[in-house]
Amino acid sequence: MKIIVGLGNPEDKYLKTFHNMGWTAAGDLAAMLGVKFKKKECEAVCAEANVGGEKVVIARPLTYMNCSGRAVKQLLAKHRAAPSDLIVIYDDYDLPKGHVRIRPSGSAGTHNGMRSIISEIGSTDFVRIRIGIRDSEVNIPLINYVLANVRPEDYELFISACGRAAEAALALAKGEKTELVMTRFNG
């Protein structure tokens, strides 16, 4: 079993913001698998698929970014899953815009959503797929930046990055080794 969580904020006004890259990638993954977000459970909207005989839950927390850990903790408990069954997709200001980087574990860095997840589940041992959003040409406070809409000239770059993140999540859901997925997608 895998639980794949795309972080973001639930209101329409946030759909094209940097902080919703995880939500976008989760939507891309659901589309790849031919499933829709129909079910509301554990403070998230979820889609379920079968990948290679294994159940995969794709979730978009409804808790807003800074409380994402609540939904993730509930999903792990409901599905009797361990942190090692978890994959989290999210935006990362510490990476240049458009880059995708997969890691098998690690800290929250500057990300409050990840800080919430680590605090709630008490573990850093889960895969994370990070989508870089840092733009060296923009100099505004981080809180304003992550909640800003992606600039039109960068939109295709970020759509492509979200698609690559979804492909990486699918490879992991199919059972590919994290190290091999990192080799294919990091960069």
Active-site annotation, residues:
19
**Best CA proximity match to 71, nearest among 114, 108, 42, 45:** 42
Sign of CA dihedral 64, 156, 32, 129: negative
- CA dihedral (124, 96, 22, 15) in degrees, to 10, reads 150
Residue 38, burial from CB neighbour count under 10 angstroms (0-12, 13-18, 19+): exposed
Residues 65, 8: contact at Cβ < 8 Å?
Answer: yes
